[in-house]
Amino acid sequence: MALGKERVCVTGAGGFVGSWVVKLLLSKDYFVHGTVREPSYYLLYVLLSISEIAKIGLCSNSICAKIILFILTLGDEKNAHLYKLEKASENLKLFKADLLDYNSVYSAIVGCSGVFHVASPVPSTIVEVIEPAVKGTLNVLKASVEAKVKRVVFVSSGAAVAFNPSWPKDRVMDETCWSDKEYCRTTKNWYSFAKTEAESEALEYGKRPGLNVVSICPTFIFGPILQSTLNASSMILVKLLKEEGCESVDNRLRMIVDVRDVAEASVLLYEKPEVEGRYICTAYGCRGQELVDKLKSIYPNYIYPTNFTEGGEEIVLTSAKLQNLGWSYRPLEETLFDSIESYKKAGILD
């Protein structure tokens, strides 16, 4: 439990992972600064006015709270799920921040003792990803130093580990394995390139006096969504459940982890004083056909792909280092069930 409402900043607070990190931090009584692209400042003015009305007794606190929630949901749709989180009304403050704008990043971080750098683009070209990922990360780190932050948890990716053709084929990948940036460039895997570059820069930056940086490298992230839109990894599951979405499935092994377990690992890395370096975060290795069979056993009425293509490298990662800190993960069946139920609740699936 955080004492005295310790302040921390979460970049990309409205995203798939960021939302769960914010939710967990609020439940542990942290005061959270969340960066988002477009919070509604006009709504903030309205909300402050309503709060003042409550203070002078013109309406009850419970009625004002309902009005506030309604206005937030109506006028700030992208971030409405954050305002609905327990303790958000008193312990969450959203900041509009562009990672490439240092001043906006610093404004969100100043006053915080910790930062969770979660924000990350999912690009299709090198132009869309390298500058936001690398320069944006350096802005977060520079601001953290200036604001005297004690620790930054950088959310990297298994993609910064897994793409290394020189790694022995029969050896499980651990934290000493880094994706080969030249290989990523050659294969135009810009996401992996950017994550590898940004993580290595972040850990190098953390060697300077006054700032501690640790990184977490989650693999494919499934789990229930809090936000109203689908992220890239959740789209994989949705396509498996929609006949028109996926006629054929790659049967290669995928390393999977639940978004809630990623959030818990991230907070664990912030709170444990002895942590250092990078930590792979993964739970299960699952082939495409096995994933379809598991889904079919839970939801037999959807129409699933029947064609599975073989081939591709077997990439296996281990999270033993993270587990040695006491981290554990939930059953895959729970992850799949909760994921699908959240898609149905959001109206994404029937």
User: Considering Cα of 38, then 41, then 47, then 48, what sign does the dihedral take?
Assistant: positive
38 Ramachandran zone, left/alpha/beta (phi>0; psi -120 to 50): beta
User: Considering Cα of 243, then 191, then 160, then 107, what sign does the dihedral take?
Assistant: negative
Give which of 255, 258, 253 is closest to 328, Cα–Cα: 258
β-pair type (92-96, 31-36): parallel
For residue 218, what is the DSSP state? E
Instruction: HSE, CB side, 13 Å, CA atoms: give it for residue 180.
Output: 9
Beta carbons of 192 and 127 less than 8 angstroms apart: no
Beta carbons of 156 and 136 less than 8 angstroms apart: no
| Residue 314, both tokens | 């077997």
d(CA 129, CA 95): 22
List, by residue number, the catalytic residues.
Answer: 195
Residue 195 φ then ψ, to 5°? -65, -40
For residue 345, what is the DSSP state? H
CA–centroid distance for 62 within its chain? 32
Instruction: HSE, CB side, 13 Å, CA atoms: give it for residue 79.
Output: 25
Adjacency order of strands within the sheet including 284-287: 220-222, 253-258, 284-287
| Residue 194, both tokens | 């950017």
